[in-house]
Amino acid sequence: MSDLSDFSESDFDKAASSDKKSLSRAKTSKDPPAKAQSKLPDSEEKSKNPPARKESSKGSDSEKKEPPKHKKSTKQPGRRMASGSESLPALDKATGVLSPPDFFISKIVHDSQCFTPKVGHCVVEVKGLIYIFGGEDPDGNPTSVLLKFNPGSNSFEVVDDLDDGPGPLRGATLNVWRAHSRGEPSLLLFGGIDDEKEAKSEAWAFDLNKSSWQELKLKSRPEARYSHAAVFCEKTNGLYLFGGQKADGTVIQDAHVLKGTTWSYIESAEDKCAPAGRCGHSASLCNLEGKSVVAIFGGDLSGSGKGDNDLWLYDIDKDKWKKMEDFAGEPPCPRWKHAAAFFDNRLWVIGGTYGGWFKNYVMSDFFVFDFLAKCWFKCDVDPKELGSHTDIGSLTVLPSSRAIFIFGGADQHGYPSSDVYRLAPVCTTVTLGSLRQDISRTVGEVKQVRSEMDSTLQETRVMRDTVSRLEEASGAMEQTIQGVTSAAQRAEVKLGELTNSTQLLQDTVKKLEEALAQMDATVRSFAVAEKKFGIMEVTIQEALAKLEQKADISSLRAVAAKVDPNSDEDDD
């Protein structure tokens, strides 16, 4: 691990003086801003914009070549409109009445052991940490080392330097990526050119938890390329790829999107209203009024040094392209291999290469496009502090601090550099569009707070009335409870009396049951006696019958005796 530190308390002193300069330079004008100059043919543009001065052999900052500024358009000045219906104030070239923030520039000093001089590397920020991959060293050899930079401690750390990953590459893209919308973020590396001058079309994912590379098996992958641009949109969970060039230098005009494990071709990239094929351009994901938009700026249209300074917007949701043509201020000169980033509704563009008549010039300027004001501004950055850099697809923004970090790139002589810069914005100036938006938002918030307070007061009154009614109901309830208690006591006394009566009733019932048992026994005795009487009655009847029979026989005998006295003897 390499320990780093910011040099420069003097930078803060310089920033204070630059604030005064910026305030003195902020002039107003009654004239509307001049309309941006239309694009000229290459020969005409070069004739109107020759290099201002030659680069010395020593390459000192004072003698550094800078491209000339564009001449003002000969067309009648027109009025530029911001995002609303109000017109923008006049601008003095690229400096507005209220410019974007000035910056504290700090050069981070390190030992160049971990982060070595390189160009063509790629950078991405993930959860407050910055990852750097590959690039070409001073000997012209691509590298395959993955580094991690901690902005909190200003330290580099080697994350992976093994050969089981994508291998040495330059001109690749490194983005945050998720295989699924709710998955853990990982790094996705696509394309690039290796040490054999062969362009790549493979996609590699780096697991941040396991610290390991894995080649992705994807369907219908794009053509091999390098010096392309790519952004990841979390809203659609898609990686969007734009342009680039083949190994033979041919520029590519296409666009693709990776979702899950499938690449899809974006057919609108071939429309007439789409940007021409290019390489060395920048692509930045912008959140404009809740819409996800990709901003494509500049690039080399030929692959051999034909720069452009057009700004294209690709609406992801509508799949439509739009070229920004109606704007105020002076845009950057045509360039490629610059660095760009988006935050605070602004697109920040740093450095790059400008194609001159006889040679290319390395830039040290710093521009910003304000989407709310629709205006280009040139930021107040001293070239001696920042230096000239190109081939820096190595700029990234740290969202937590809104600071811009620049890693390496080629210097004005074309040599790879290991310079690391930190640009922290000074919140002393704002754009008119941003100020108008902030005021409107603040007024809206105040109205909302007032409405919420009125609603809260009304709810408080209702609550107070409710509490009063509850107190009254509570008093009535207390009286009711007392009455219920008295009634319960009386009911308890009656219940005791009822219990005694029940006991007496139970005793009486018991006596009745005993009497009934006795009566039942008596009845059974009567039944037995009745049965006996029945038997006696039958017996008596039989006896009477026998007596009657005997009486009848005796009577007959008496009669017979009277009739025949001898019959008795016979009978005997």
User: At residue 257, what is the residue type?
Assistant: V
Residue 99, pLDDT above cutoff 60 = no
Tell me what percent of the residues of the chain surpass a pLDDT of 90. 47
48 phi, psi to nearest 5 deg: -85, -15
| Higher-pLDDT residue of 40, 207 | 207
Residue 21 located in a structural domain: yes
Please give the structure tokens belonging to residue 185.
């973020």
Residue 427, pLDDT above cutoff 60 = no
CA atoms within 13 A on the CB side of 350: 29
SS3 sequence of 84-152: CCCECCCCECCECCCCCCEEEEEEEECCCCCCCCEECCEEEEECCEEEEECCECCCCCEECCEEEEECC
Residue 401 located in a structural domain: yes
Residue 98 located in a structural domain: yes
Domain range for 84 is 1-114+337-430
Q: Indicate the range of 206-215, 311-320, 400-409, 489-498 predicted with least confidence.
A: 400-409
Asked if 277 and 227 count as a contact pair (C-beta separation under 8 A), the reply is no
Q: Indicate the range of 90-99, 157-166, 428-437 predicted with least confidence.
A: 90-99
Mean pLDDT, the chain, rounded, equals 79
| Higher-pLDDT residue of 563, 86 | 563
Q: How far is residue 535 from each of residues 160, 511, 540, 542, measured CA to CA in Å? A: 126, 36, 9, 11
Torsion of CA 228, 401, 428, 102, to 10 degrees: -40
Asked if 402 and 111 count as a contact pair (C-beta separation under 8 A), the reply is no
The model's pTM = 0.61
Chain-centroid distance, C-alpha 200: 31
Q: What is the pLDDT of residues 441-482, one digit of tens each?
A: 889 889 999 999 999 999 999 999 999 999 999 999 999 999
Residue 29 located in a structural domain: yes
Q: Which of 165, 135, 131, 319 is nearest to 233 (CA)?
A: 319
Other beta carbons within 10 Å of 146:
23
Give the range with max mean pLDDT: 17-21, 133-137, 158-162.
133-137
pLDDT band, very low/low/confident/very high, at 139 (cuts 50, 70, 90) = very high
| Higher-pLDDT residue of 539, 3 | 539
pLDDT given at position 5:
36
Q: Enumerate the β-bridge partners of residue 87.
A: 81
Residue 314, pLDDT above cutoff 90 = yes
pLDDT given at position 266:
96
Number of structural domains (the chain) is: 1
Diameter over CA atoms, the chain: 202
Q: Which of 122, 121, 125, 283 is nearest to 208 (CA)?
A: 125
Residue 38, pLDDT above cutoff 50 = no
User: How many residues comprise the chain?
Assistant: 572
CA distance 453 to 190: 54
pLDDT given at position 67:
46
Asked if 152 and 431 count as a contact pair (C-beta separation under 8 A), the reply is no
Asked if 270 and 248 count as a contact pair (C-beta separation under 8 A), the reply is no
pLDDT given at position 11:
39
Residue 503 located in a structural domain: no
Residue 43 located in a structural domain: yes
Residue 39, pLDDT above cutoff 70 = no
Chain-centroid distance, C-alpha 434: 24
Residue 397 located in a structural domain: yes
User: At residue 88, what is the residue type?
Assistant: L
Residue 190 located in a structural domain: no
pLDDT given at position 168:
95
487: helix, coil or strand?
Answer: helix
pLDDT given at position 1:
41
